[in-house]
Structure 1
Amino acid sequence: MNRFLKLVNFEINRASKLFASLLAIVAVSQFAGVVVRSKSYVSEASRVMREQSITQAEFLSSHGTISFSQIITSLWFLGPIALSAALLILYIFLIWYRDWFGKNTFIYRLLMLPTERINIFFAKATAIVLLVLGLIAFQLFLLPMQQTILESLVPAEFLGYSDYHHALNSFWFLSLIIPHSFDQFLLSYGVGIMAVFLLFTAILFERSFRWKGIVIGILFIIFAGLLLMAPFFAEDMLYPTELLLLEGVLLILITALSIVISRFLLNKKVTV
């Protein structure tokens, strides 16, 4: 366990600059978005009421209020989230391939460590999961402050319902990455962890068999995806709880299969 934790710490340290950069981008862009959108709305309201000589009530009737939902679904807010997701997906590949293609081919040193090779697999997967959870936790930390800034910049009479919990649940993409129930959390992040394991296995297929391995890896991912989607073809015959339970079982089985295959590849096919 001590060696595994050292491997996890090592991978986290290697990703620290990327992680810090993503945190900075998220914070700067989203806070800028709150300020810009809020001031723009207030400025537009003042201009329209002045130029058209209309009352506040008339403006609100024709233009509506501003809410946190409008802020949270803007490019200022979603852009850095999408960028973070894209870079973390790219990092799933980088976390392995930089060890092979770096100038010192570091993978050989990793594989020669006095520990089970599968621990390298688990350490890299754990690092990815911790990076994702760290970004989500940071986002949840920012939301109350962003809502407070919106409420301080926009007069109360111009504010619509601005609770950030409601804003998160009103947009499918955000409710997917920040689930509002424990069941949704388990399903969303269970699928995410499974996807990381599948991609890791596909990478090991490629490292073991090169071009043939790419094909095998793609077919393995397709097979896993079809297997996971199979219960939805019988959705009308299952209760929601039964469907959720079946999906959970399949997630565990697919993840276990991925681990078994990866262990075999690391021990028997990936050589130093």
Structure 2
Amino acid sequence: MKLFGKLVHFEFRRFLPIYLSLLAVVLLIQAAGVVIYSSIMKSEITDNVIKHGMSKEQYLQDYGYISIGDILTSSMFTLPIIIAAVTIFIYILFIWYRDWLGKNTFIYRLLMLPVKRIQLFFSKAAAILLFVFGLVAFQIVILPVLQTILKWIIPVDYRLDLTIQGILRSFDYFKILLPEHFGDFIVHYGFGTAFVIVLFTMILIERSYRFKGVFIAAFYGIAGLVIVFSPYILQSAMKGYFYENELVWMQFAAAVVFSVISIFFSNHLLNRKIRV
């Protein structure tokens, strides 16, 4: 377990400079979005209330209170989240290939470590999950900071301050990233973990069989999709027999089964087939 922890720390440290830069980009773009939106709204308040003599009550009746929730659906808020998600997705691929493509074929040194090779697989997957959880936690932590920026610009009479729970409920993406129910949390991140495991297995297939492995990996990925979506195929054949939540849990069970198969297959590839 100690060696596994070192492997996870090693993978985390390799991506840390890019990861910290990614967090800084998320903060800067979202803060800029809050400043721009708040400045525009303050100009509207000034124009309507001060210049044209509209009463505060009339303004609020026509336009409503201004809150951080109004900004959550803007491109300035969602764009850095998309950038972060795409960056982590790219790193899911890069986390393996950098070991093959780097100087002195670094994967050879990793495979010669006195640990079970499957631990390399799990350490990389654990590092990816840490990055995802860290990004979600960072986004939640900076929400009060973003709301404070809005407070500095928008007068209190025209502002609606939200609690953290209120902010989370007003943004649909947070319902996916941080579900209210534990069962939904397990399902959402279970699917995400299954995706990482299967993608890792596809990479190992390609690395084991090279050109031929590209087609085998593609077939493996398609087979995984068919298995995961098989409950909906069954639902269509049985003409809507299952409830929606039952289909989700059936999908989740299928994803878990295919993930376990992928882990055993990856272990076989790492021990018997992988080529440096």
TM-score relative to the length of structure 2: 0.90
2:155 aligns with 155
Q: Distance in 2 between matches of 1:271 and 1:257?
A: 21
1:268 aligns with 272
For the 8 Å contact 2:227–2:255, the answer to whether it is kept is: no
Corresponding pairs, count: 272
Q: Distance in 1 between matches of 2:217 and 2:168?
A: 35
For the 8 Å contact 2:191–2:252, the answer to whether it is kept is: no
After superposition, the Cα gap between the structure-2 partners of 1:210 and 1:189, relative to the gap in structure 1 and judged at 3 Å, is same
Matched residue type, 2:221: I
Name the % identity: 40
Q: Distance in 2 between matches of 1:48 and 1:216?
A: 65
Q: Deviations over 1:74-118 (max 9, x none)?
A: 222211111110000000111111111112210111111111111
1:253 Cα offset (Å)? 0.6
For the pair 1:189 / 2:189, whether they are aligned, the reply is yes
1:221 aligns with 221
Q: Deviations over 1:148-196 (max 9, x none)?
A: 3323432233234744434433443332122222122111111111111
1:4 aligns with 4
1:55 aligns with 55
Q: Deviations over 1:118-137 (max 9, x none)?
A: 11111111111111111111
Matched residue type, 2:255: L
1:168 aligns with 168
1:27 aligns with 27
Q: Unpaired segments of 5 or more residues in structure 1?
A: none
1:19 Cα offset (Å)? 1.3
Pairs within 5 Å for 1:132-151: 132-151=132-151
Q: Give the secondary structure class of the aligned counterpart of 2:103.
A: coil
Matched residue type, 2:272: K
2:210 aligns with 210
Q: Give the secondary structure class of the aligned counterpart of 1:72.
A: coil
1:98 aligns with 98
Matched residue type, 1:7: L
Matched residue type, 1:135: L
For the 8 Å contact 1:204–1:265, the answer to whether it is kept is: yes
Q: Give the secondary structure class of the aligned counterpart of 1:221.
A: helix
1:179 aligns with 179
1:119 aligns with 119
**Higher mean Cα deviation, 84-93 or 166-175?**
166-175
Q: Which runs of 4+ in 1 moved over 6 A?
A: none
1:15 aligns with 15
Q: Distance in 2 between matches of 1:171 and 1:164?
A: 11
Q: Unpaired segments of 5 or more residues in structure 2?
A: none
1:253 aligns with 257
For the 8 Å contact 1:111–1:117, the answer to whether it is kept is: yes
After superposition, the Cα gap between the structure-2 partners of 1:232 and 1:147, relative to the gap in structure 1 and judged at 3 Å, is farther
